[in-house]
Amino acid sequence: MRIWSIHPSLLDSKGLVACWRETLLAQKVLQGLTRGYTNHPQLHRFRTTSNPLEAIASYLHGLCDEADSRDYHFDRSKIAGIAQLEKPLIPVTVGQAEYELAFLMQKVEKRDEKWFAEHLHGLEKPALHPLFFIVPGGIEPWEKVKDI
């Protein structure tokens, strides 16, 4: 499961669709509707908010907004809540954002060279999903770091 901290506009089509599906699964976990993935490290940051379901709904609405801008059709009725986001809610460290950008670049360069060239090549500082705000620090302790 990968729930990206970086802005959905940076995700290629496969990445955006996968993130949508995985975040819907994460929503089910937070609702207590599934037995799998209950201890997944990506969910830690949602669980630390005052309202995890509202936070995941806001995240999903952000994905839908990006999908809408690309004329994709994500079904907002699958989101269990209304986005109540007035300001970024969840901190993400600089190191985490940089790691995710590098990880995404590695994946996309192999699977979609055109998207990589047009959206990611040379990018050094990633924009964040509107749910997140940047704070100093390294890679988050919950991240399962892969060699990049």
Is pTM beyond 0.85 here? Answer: yes
Give me the sign of the Cα torsion angle 39, 46, 60, 115: negative
Q: What are the domain boundaries of the chain?
A: 8-135
From first to last of its 148 residues, the chain has per-residue pLDDT tens of 689 999 999 999 999 999 999 999 999 999 999 888 888 888 989 999 988 999 999 999 999 999 999 999 999 999 997 766 667 789 999 999 999 999 999 999 999 999 999 999 989 889 999 999 999 999 999 898 887 7
Question: Which three-class secondary structure state does DSSP give residue 133?
Answer: strand
Tokens of 123: 């990018």
Reference 51, options 9, 82, 76, 24; nearest CA is 82
